[in-house]
Each structure stands twice: as structure tokens, then as C-alpha cells.
Chain A
Amino acid sequence: MFADSILWPALLNGLTMGSVYVLIALGLTLIYGVLHIINFAHGSLLMLAMYLVLMLFQGAGVDPYAAIPLLVLAMFALGYGLQRFVISRASHARDENILLVTLGLSLVIENLAIHFFHSDPRSLETAYSINTVDVLGAHVSVPRALAVAGALVCGAALWYLMARTDLGRAIRAVAKERQGAMAVGIDVRHIFAMSFGIGLACVGVAACFLLPMYYVSPHVGNSFVLVAFTVVVLGGMGSFAGSIIGGIIVGLVESLCGLYLGESLSQIGVFVIFIAILLFRPLGLLGHRA
């Protein structure tokens, strides 16, 4: 029934891309929810992770999906270090400064990437990346289908972490009531760094799923920054479930805009949503007041 429709593939496209957005946004939500930082460097860190995946593949033959544990470790360590030793120190914990520091970080990362990798887009191809899966008459490439699975697994893993582990409880405590958490002996600086690390670990996972279905260039980060923020703001700052819903919605909107308005205007739907949410419903769909 769906075989002849052009809408169905576009919807699937939106769903699969949206899954990647979910993965990116989950990390951003955690970072915002706990540290109340708008991490401007999120996009460029995604780009960095993608290059890491690419280098592992081209240099050591590591399959991008097999690289997930490596990326998780590497990005977690990077995130922990960045928050503990760079961001918190430089910004003196003031909001406007954090904004500028993360902007500075994104400039450094992006331009070092331009310097070392040059601006041409690169992609990787595995044995199965051109295989497709048939979904109700439309063909979805294997990497895209895997992205959906990845988002679900990652979302579930994060949920388990936050709901069932001691670390998750500590993180939630710090997110809700910083002073109180300190009073009961939680090392807040450590929790902040852990949260940032976990947030970046999510980005690492996102990179593993994104690279096989997309490409990487130093400018890729920029394209994803605003989209990631749109997802987080739409879903509701600080809400994981919101990020999941938001990611899917944004993916769908982008795909449909591309279908009906053309490629160059596809992103405009996303930006308009972003502006509209900030103006009219800043809490987003599922957000809660801090």
C-alpha cells in the first residue's frame, strides 16, 4: 500500500534521522538538566567523535558499531576532563561566561579539525552500509535502521542509569537541589563532571550510528548544534522523554519540509519551531520549571 507513496519514505527518513537527533539530544538534556549549561560545543564535539570513528575504521579497521564502547570511554573521559578542568574553572560558574567558554571550545575544536582534516566531507562504507531493509514498501538502509535501535537502547540505558543506580540518584539530587546535595555529602563537582562525561558519551554513541548513514566534515557540528538545541527545547529542557519525542518530531518536520519545500529550505522548519517554542512555550512539551 505504501509502496508508491513518496510520503512514507520521507516519514521513515524523518524517523531514522530523528533517532540520531534523539541520541544527540539525550546528552545535551543531561548536561543542561544537571549543570544548567547550554553547551555550545556539543555540535563540534559530535564532529570530533565522528572523526574518531572514521579514524578507527580507516586506521584500525574497527567497525563503527563495534567502536561504540571505545567511543563511550573516550568521550566520557573527554567530557569529564573538559567540565572539571576547563569549563568550570574558566567560567567561574557564571552563566554568561559558560556560554562564551563553550563557544570558544567549539571554535577551537572546529578549526583544529579544519586544519588537520581539511574541509572535504568524508564518509565510510562498510560491507553492509548499502544493504537495505524493507519497511512496508520503502527501503531503509541498514545503518538508518540501526540508528533507531541505537536510540532506543541508549534511551533505555540512560533511563536505567538515572532511575536504578546510585550514580543516577546522586545526579538527580544535584540536578534538583544543588545545595542540599552538597549538604548530604555528594561531591557536586564530581557529579557535574560525571554528568558532562555521560552527556558526551551519548554523543560518542550518536557518532557511531551517524557516520555510516551520513558524512563527516569539520562543519558538520554547526549543522547539528541548532537542531540539537531545538530538540531539547521542544522536548522540554531537562526531560529525557521530551528529548525522545522532540527528536522524532524534529526529524519528521525536517524530512517533510525537505519533501515539500525543497532541500535548501528543509532546515527552516526546524529553526522556525525553535524560535516559536522559545517565544511561546519555553518549557517545551514535557519540561518542568527548575
Chain B
Amino acid sequence: MRRELPALLAFGAAMAAIPLIVSSEYLMTLATLALYSALLGISWNILGGFGGQYSFGHAVFFGTGAYVNAVAQVRFGLSAWAALPLAVCGGALVGVLIGAPVFRYGLRGSYFALVTLAFAEVFRVLANTFDFTGAGVGMMIQLKPGAGQFQFTDPSGFLWAVLVMVMVGLLASLWLRHSRFGAQLVAVRENEDAARALGVDAFRVKLGAIALSGALMAAGGFFYMQKFNYIDPPLGFGASVSVEALLVAIVGGIGSVYGPVVGAFALEALGQLTTALIGKDPALSVALYGVILILMVAFMPSGLAGLGEKLLRRGERGR
């Protein structure tokens, strides 16, 4: 594990240096959004890539983070920094609440994907119904610029903030690669019965994974709220966030550590390219993402990171 830290720090330093090198606010926002996307993908990857449980409703954790943040600030007057741990814990808690019955009854594969979608929809309908969460109108947090309010006046503040979250996510992924828990999680993914026969408590392991994944995703929701100051049921619990998380992870490379980062930047770049070519059309971009998803599954199942690994190996063999 210690061997991986230099690379991680180098990555962090490189990203942190962006505001110092780049002066264009536009490019900084792009980098920030890419990192935010990466965070979503890293979260999905923990449950889907390492754990092998494909969630189609990951927005349930995102929306929880965003709404807990909003409610904590607007209804209870807490500061953003105080709301952050609450949001993250909320995500983990929802993970456990969903995971406990779902894993207890052994839902896997397509059924797991469907049930997570159903949970996201339930949360969406609930958020839409109660005035406490703003119902259909959604919730807005007051504009209070300043680092103390987690609403940075300088865009580099947001970039560094999300970068810290991404680093935490990457650290968690690396830990999975080099820990007993991670080894057990992968074993359960590969063959649950064999893992159980070797003493792995599959239920506990999967629950841990979904809680960790939910916590990170909720952090993403928290960040979204701080950056855009507004959340409503479709934004928080809708399909677009769920799809974004899984797309980034798959394009980047399921089960790899840095894959989601690669995927996020690649998709961001692609988005900019299509905007340049055909103008701003969110629908067409998403349609394109759908095509990419199909193509990735068909031709590049290990994602861009997998492709990179293959090229690296070929390069080594050539020597």
C-alpha cells in the first residue's frame, strides 16, 4: 500500500496545481466538474467494480447527501461544514438501510440493479411530497460566499475541495486493493459461496461496501449543493445522476482505482468536443453517452484503464 502513495500524491499535486497554472476560470470549472464526476464514479466503482453489485439507483445516496445538507442548513441553521459529516453519515446510513434487507435476501445481478432503481424512485417521490424537503419546488441554500461557509469566492476553492474528496475516494479504493476487507469483497464478487466457505461473512462485507459507497456519493451530493445552491427531487434522485456515476466508472474501467478519474476526464472532454461540433444540446450528449456505454461494453469491457494497462504490458514485452 505504501508503494501506491507516491503516485496518489503526485496525482493530487498535479490536480491541485491546476488553479496555479491555468488562469481561465472556464477551464478551472471544467476541471472541477470532471473531478466531481470522478467522485461519483469512484463511489459507484466501490460497490459495482470491487463489489460486483451494479447499482442503477446510486442517486439515492447522492440525493440523500444533497438534501441532508440542505435541510441541515435551511431548517436547522447549521453551517455547511457542520452539515458535511451529517450528509456523509446520511449516505452511509441509507446504504445500510437499503443493503441490509437487500443483501439479507440475497438479491444480486439484475434484481439488485432494479431494486436500487426502485429505492431511488421511492426517495424521489417522498422528497417530492413533503414540504419539509421542499416538495416539487426543491430547496435552495442561501448564497453566503466565503470559505467558512463552503461557498468559495475563488473557483479554485471548489476545485481543491472536491479534489480532497476525490483523494479520500482514491485512498479508499487503494485501501480496498491492499486490505483484508477488499480481498474479501473481491472474493465475494467472484464467487460468493466459495468466499463463505473460506470464512468470509459475505453479508457484512457487502454491507460495508454499500455504506462506504453511499458515504462517498453523499459527499458528491453535498458538494453539488454547495456549488449550485439548489436541489430538487429529479436532480437529486433522478436517473441522470445514477447514470453519470455508472457511466464514468465503466468508461474508466470497472474495478480499477484510477479508472473513474480517467473516465470522468474523458467524458468531460468528449462533452466539450460535441458541444464544439454540434452546439449545446444536452439531450444529444446523453444519447451519445448511451452509444458510448454500448460500445464500451461491446469492445472495451475493462474500460480505458484496462486499455491503458494492456498497452503498457505490450510495451514492456516489447523491451
Contact = CB atoms under 8 A, between A and B. Distances in A.
Given A111-B284, A112-B283, A103 B243 contact: yes
Contacts of A110: 286-287
Contact of A278 (B115, B121, B289, B295): B115
A226 B117 CA distance: 8
B297 A97 contact: yes
Contacts of A90: 294-295, 297-298
B118 A226 contact: yes
Interface in B272-319: 281, 283-287, 289-295, 297-298, 301
Nearest to A273: B118
Contact of A104 (B54, B113, B128, B290): B290
Contacts of B150: none
Nearest to A263: B129
Interface in A246-290: 262, 264-265, 267-268, 271-272, 274-275, 278-280, 282
A250 B239 CA distance: 23
Contact of B250 (A100, A265, A278): A100
B293 A103 contact: yes
Interface SS, A side = helix
A226 B109 contact: no
A105 interface: yes
B111 interface: yes
B118 A274 contact: yes
B121 A271 contact: yes
A86 interface: yes
B126 interface: yes
Contacts of B128: 264
Contacts of A109: 290
B60 to A, nearest CB: 12
B101 interface: yes
Contacts of B258: none
Contacts of B160: none
B9 interface: no
A105 B122 contact: no
A45 B287 CA distance: 14
Contacts of B119: 275
Contacts of B114: 38, 226, 229, 233, 274, 278
Given A38-B110, A264-B128, A104 B121 contact: no
B287 A107 contact: yes
A164 interface: no
Contacts of A267: 121, 125
B297 A91 contact: yes
A17 to B, nearest CB: 18
Contacts of A163: none
Contacts of B289: 107
B18 interface: no
Contacts of A89: 298
16 contacts: A97-B301, A99-B54, A101-B298, A104-B290, A104-B291, A108-B291, A110-B286, A112-B284, A112-B287, A115-B287, A226-B114, A226-B117, A262-B129, A271-B125, A279-B107, A282-B111
6 nearest interchain CB pairs? A107-B290, A104-B293, A90-B298, A111-B287, A108-B290, A114-B283
Interface of B: 54, 56, 101-102, 105, 107, 109-111, 113-115, 117-119, 121-122, 125-126, 128-129, 136, 239, 243, 246, 250, 281, 283-287, 289-295, 297-298, 301
Given A103-B290, A104-B290, A112-B284, 12 more contacts: A40-B56, A90-B295, A104-B294, A115-B287, A226-B114, A267-B121, A271-B125, A274-B114, A275-B122, A279-B101, A279-B105, A282-B105
